Chain A
Amino acid sequence: MNRVEIEELLDLTDRFAEVGLRPIPRVPALRGRTVATLFFEDSTRTRLSFDTAAKRLSADTLNFAAGSSSINKGESLRDTVDVISSYGVDALVVRHPMAGTPHRIAGWTEAAVINAGDGWHEHPTQALLDLYTLRKHLGALDGIHIGIVGDIRHSRVARSNVLAFTALGAEVTLVAPPTLLPASLESWPTKVSHNFDEVLPTLDACYLLRMQKERISEGLFPSVREYVADFGLNSGRADRLPKKALICHPGPVNRGIEITADVVADSRSVILDQVVNGVSVRMAVLFLLLGVTRTDSYKPSESAEL
């Protein structure tokens, strides 16, 4: 997506945010459409967010979780996709631990496929909801300085967000110990720092990533305590963050590691706004993909043209 396309989507998102505030937060825009969520990895907010978004547009939803499916009986991914497509699904929302799986699936089905996170690769709707949240609070993103702090290396959120933030004109600094940065950073349009305290006072938004505790065994950093001391956002660091800066986190939050509990509740924290906005942005995504002409065979009558 280029800047114009992203901004069109964000502009449209306001319309869907308004729907969520109605006494009956539902519009019939995608009546008769079916959206399936295919999650091969655990998730709370992404899955529930897509599910809520689809329901607010009156689409039917099917939920597939790998853990309780015939995958356990040895059914292949391809067969699984074929089966789900056979239920007349119009969109597949896919999360998978392997990068590129959603792209692969898109070649197997007529349905629209939405990447809801693939391995360390990308998480596009997270990036869009973060853009929407930042734009809502800060206005235009041109020239603002965003620090992405934490486990960049294993983070699909970091990859998508760097692309999204820079596409809208923001400057991005990656803040992490060298071991938690990707091996090759030359092609990234960002600055890099290993010193959080130095970057802190210059930020308009501080974007914290989840410390993927399951990686500790890989010996990428000496101890959680040391990481917290150098890169955790505690109340002391929050005091040195500019008054108008925002604190963002894609969730789930490890309280006491990348961020302390009192900072989660800070007035500058927009962590729950991010969740709310996630529904609106995903409504816009689903509507743009499915809200076009009903089927190829649908011929509008002359009267429907006005």
Chain B
Amino acid sequence: MAERERRQAPPFGGVFVAHARIMDSDDMARAVRRMAHEVIERNHGVKDVVVIGLQTGGTPLAERLVDALYEIEGTRPPVGRLDVALHRDDIGLRPVLPEAATEIPVDLDSSIVVLVDDVLFTGRTIRAALDAVCDFGRPRAIQLAVMVDRGHRELPIRPDYVGKNLPTRRAEVVDVHLEGVDLGVMKK
């Protein structure tokens, strides 16, 4: 979702054209549930866990992950939203969206932060997010959950929880939305 919005915004323009459905909504629900189990297993529960969705594609997934954690553990970890536009190394190439607000509801000191994003690609968004999170305190650990890891990393960053590993070509675009995951291209 987010990637499509960004792609359509200036200076890129263009329209997303899907050529394959990679996951449907059931696949996504299963993946979220499995990732929730993995988060719990890795952290021995959800004590001190804070889930932070990256604007804009990661925020609905963060809510879904928290719902799944609540179903399994019976407690609901705090959920926040983070926009990294002002921390990026390519400022000016992407719009800063007024509605993509940052809200971190709790002090992050000695918490376990689980960052959630829709697509992991170059790793530059996550690099910016690590910077931003550290301005809110000193978490005990930061972990990363993504719905799709599409490869092509440019930084030494790896996810802790992955919905689906999806080998892609560089020019392709992965579109994660509520009903599923599509692979396609941008057409002018």
Which A residues form the contact surface with B (CB < 8 A)? 8, 11-12, 14-15, 18-19, 22-24, 26-29, 57, 287, 291-294, 300, 302-306
Give the distance in Å from the alpha carbon of A14 to the alpha carbon of B101 in the complex. Answer: 8
**Which of these, A22, A291, A293, contacts B135 with CB under 8 Å?**
A22
Q: A27 to B93, Cβ gap below 8 A?
A: no
B157: interface (CB < 8 Å): no
The 0/1 profile, CB within 8 Å of A marked 1, for residues 1-44 of chain B is 00100100000100000000000000000000000000000000
| Shortest distance between the CB of B8 and any CB in chain A (Å) | 13
Q: Which residues of chain B from 50 to 98 have any CB-CB distance to chain A below 8 Å in the complex?
A: 83, 86-87, 89-93, 96, 98
User: Please, which residue of chain A has its CB at the minimum distance from the CB of B103?
Assistant: A18
User: Please, which residue of chain B has its CB at the minimum distance from the CB of A16?
Assistant: B86
Interface size in chain B (residues, C-beta < 8 A): 29
Q: A15 to B3, Cβ gap below 8 A?
A: no
Q: B96 to A12, Cβ gap below 8 A?
A: yes
Give the distance in Å from the alpha carbon of A303 to the alpha carbon of B152 in the complex. Answer: 9
**Which of these, A23, A29, A292, contacts B137 with CB under 8 Å?**
A23
Q: A15-B83, A23-B135, A27-B87 are in contact. Are A291 and B102 (CB under 8 A)?
A: no
Q: B170 to A304, Cβ gap below 8 A?
A: no
| Shortest distance between the CB of B18 and any CB in chain A (Å) | 17
Give the distance in Å from the alpha carbon of A26 to the alpha carbon of B132 in the complex. Answer: 9
Q: A306 to B101, Cβ gap below 8 A?
A: no
Q: A293 to B93, Cβ gap below 8 A?
A: yes
Q: A291 to B92, Cβ gap below 8 A?
A: yes
**Which of these, B3, B99, B100, B135, contacts A24 with CB under 8 Å?**
B135
Q: B96 to A306, Cβ gap below 8 A?
A: no
Q: A22-B135, A302-B170 are in contact. Are A15 and B101 (CB under 8 A)?
A: yes
| Shortest distance between the CB of A300 and any CB in chain B (Å) | 6
Q: A27-B87, A291-B92 are in contact. Are A18 and B131 (CB under 8 A)?
A: no
Q: Which residues of chain B from 94 to 128 have any CB-CB distance to chain A below 8 Å in the complex?
A: 96, 98-103, 121-122, 124
Q: Which residues of B contact A14 (CB under 8 A)?
A: 98, 101
Interface centre among B6, B93, B131 (most CB of A within 10 A): B93
Q: Which residues of A contact B131 (CB under 8 A)?
A: 28
Give the distance in Å from the alpha carbon of A291 to the alpha carbon of B86 in the complex. Answer: 9
**Which of these, B6, B86, B100, contacts A28 with CB under 8 Å?**
B86
Name 12 extra pairs, CB < 8 A, besides A11-B98, A22-B136, A287-B96. Answer: A8-B98, A11-B99, A14-B101, A15-B102, A29-B87, A291-B92, A291-B96, A300-B93, A302-B170, A303-B124, A303-B152, A306-B3
Q: B86 to A300, Cβ gap below 8 A?
A: no
Q: Which residues of A contact B92 (CB under 8 A)?
A: 291-294
Q: A11-B98, A305-B93, A306-B3 are in contact. Are A23 and B86 (CB under 8 A)?
A: no
Give the distance in Å from the alpha carbon of A24 to the alpha carbon of B83 in the complex. Answer: 16
Q: A291 to B91, Cβ gap below 8 A?
A: yes
User: Please, which residue of chain B has its CB at the minimum distance from the CB of A13?
Assistant: B98
Q: Which residues of B contact A292 (CB under 8 A)?
A: 92
Q: Which residues of A contact B154 (CB under 8 A)?
A: 303
User: Please, which residue of chain B has its CB at the minimum distance from the CB of A10?
Assistant: B98
Q: B93 to A15, Cβ gap below 8 A?
A: no
Interface centre among B86, B92, B99, B154 (most CB of A within 10 A): B86
Give the distance in Å from the alpha carbon of A23 to the alpha carbon of B134 in the complex. Answer: 10
| Shortest distance between the CB of A18 and any CB in chain B (Å) | 5
Give the distance in Å from the alpha carbon of A19 to the alpha carbon of B99 in the complex. Answer: 14
Give the distance in Å from the alpha carbon of A292 to the alpha carbon of B3 in the complex. Answer: 20
Q: B98 to A29, Cβ gap below 8 A?
A: no
Identify 25 residue pairs between A and B in the complex whose beta-carbon atoms are under 8 Å apart, listed by A's number: A8-B98, A11-B98, A14-B98, A15-B86, A15-B100, A15-B101, A18-B101, A23-B135, A23-B136, A23-B137, A26-B135, A27-B87, A28-B87, A29-B87, A291-B96, A294-B92, A300-B93, A303-B152, A303-B154, A304-B90, A304-B93, A305-B90, A306-B3, A306-B6, A306-B122
| Shortest distance between the CB of A93 and any CB in chain B (Å) | 20
User: Please, which residue of chain A has its CB at the minimum distance from the CB of B153?
Assistant: A303
Q: A12-B98, A303-B154 are in contact. Are A29 and B91 (CB under 8 A)?
A: yes
